[in-house]
Amino acid sequence: MCVNSNRYTNCFKKQVQLIYYVKVVFPRIVGVLIYCMKASSFPV
């Protein structure tokens, strides 16, 4: 029972990390890529 509970907690933490990554990190990376593309397309 304790092992199952611990395993479930680890799985939940991984799911939270995945959601955080998708909602926060991924948009930032996409934003940087778009910014770089715009910068290369329109050099200042």
Q: In 1-44, where does DSSP find H-type helix?
A: 2-20, 26-41
Q: What is the structure's pLDDT at 41?
A: 76
Domain boundaries, the chain: 1-44
Which has the higher per-residue pLDDT, 15 or 2? 15
> Cα–Cα distance between 25 and 9 in angstroms, integer?
23
* CA dist 39 → 20, 26, 27, 28 (Å): 28, 20, 18, 16
Q: Give φ, ψ of 42 to 5 degrees.
A: -125, 80
Asked if the model's pLDDT at residue 5 lies above 80, the reply is no
The 10s digit of each residue's pLDDT in 8-37 is 788 788 888 999 989 999 999 999 999 998
